[in-house]
Structure 1
Amino acid sequence: MLKSKEAITMIAVKDIQVAAEFYESTLGLQKESVEGGEVITYRSGSTKINIYRSQYAGSNKATTLMWDVGDEIDTIARTLKDKGVIFEHYDLPGLTLEGDIHAGGDMKVAWFRDPDGNILSIVSG
């Protein structure tokens, strides 16, 4: 039923302008549309990302969105850090921390938060 339908990621934020600055300037996403100052839509590859104003912003304690960046993970992580992104460091079974990137086998992953505390990540592998 839904397997051939496009999915849209929804990310709750408190201040739409602060979030827009982060998603545009820090992450480099380009605004696709704005709906009444309450929702901004971005496109990342074939995925739509909607940030929307909500009183529940930042309440999710798990990863909200992950980008598969392939072998560019080290470069992208370094670029994000240069833009002020602070990476999360977790003690996870089977993963070792190499700088800001967790590695295990062929997989590398780095987690960070947006201004509302939503957990985002980049992954390779």
Structure 2
Amino acid sequence: MLGTYDVTPTLAVRDLAAARAFYEGKLGLTVADDGMDGAIVYKAGATALFVYVSEFAGTNQATAVSWAAGPALVTTIAELRAKGVAFEHYDLPGLHLEGDIHVGGGMRLAWFKDPDGNIHALSG
């Protein structure tokens, strides 16, 4: 049933202006729709990312959005670091850290947070 519908990751933020500076300025996303009060939709590949104001922003302690960087993972990390994005380092079973990339089991992953603490993953 739901497998035929498009899905949109949705992130809560406290301050839309700060979120806008991060998502547009640091991540390089393009606004698809900002005509809603308290919300912005960003174009992200073939999908969209919905960002809205909520008092519950940043309360999720798990990965909220995953980005498939593929072979551009290392370059993408370098570009984000140059824009001031800090990467998280986790102690995860079966994975070891190579710079900012967690490697193991055929996976290469890196995590960062937005200004509200929403966790983003990059894979490649």
Same fold, TM exceeding 0.5?
Answer: yes
Q: Which residue pairs with 1:46 in the alignment?
A: 46
CA distance in 1 between counterparts of 2:36 and 2:7 reads 22
- After TM superposition, the score normalised by the length of structure 1 is 0.96
Q: Which residue of 1 aligns with 2:106?
A: 106
Instruction: List structure 1 runs of 4+ shifted beyond 6 angstroms.
Output: none
| Paired position in structure 2 for 1:12 | 12
Cα deviation digits, residues 31-64 of structure 1 (max 9, x gap):
0111344010001112110100000000000000
- Supply the distance in 2 between the matched residues of 1:37 and 1:113 (Cα, whole angstroms): 24
Q: Which moved more, 1:97-106 or 1:87-96?
A: 97-106
The one-letter code of the counterpart of 1:82 is A
The aligned amino acid for 1:95 is L
Q: Contact 1:38–1:53 (CA<8 Å) still a contact in 2?
A: yes
Output the CA distance in 2 between the equivalents of 1:60 and 1:35.
Answer: 26
Long gaps (5+) in structure 2: none
Q: What is the identity, as a one-letter code, of the residue corresponding to 1:108?
A: R
Within 1, Cα distance between the matches of 2:77 and 2:34? 28
Structure-2 residue corresponding to 1:27: 27
Q: Which amino acid aligns with 1:17?
A: A
In the comparison of the two structures, how many residue pairs are matched? 124
Q: Runs of 5+ in structure 1 lacking a partner?
A: none
CA RMSD of superposed structures (Å): 0.9
C-alpha distance in structure 1 between counterparts of 2:59 and 2:73, whole Å: 27
Distance 1:75 1:62 in 2: 24
Matched, 1:87 2:57: no
What is the CA distance between 1:7 and its match in structure 2? 0.5
SS at match of 1:28: coil
CA distance in 1, matches of 2:9, 2:36: 19
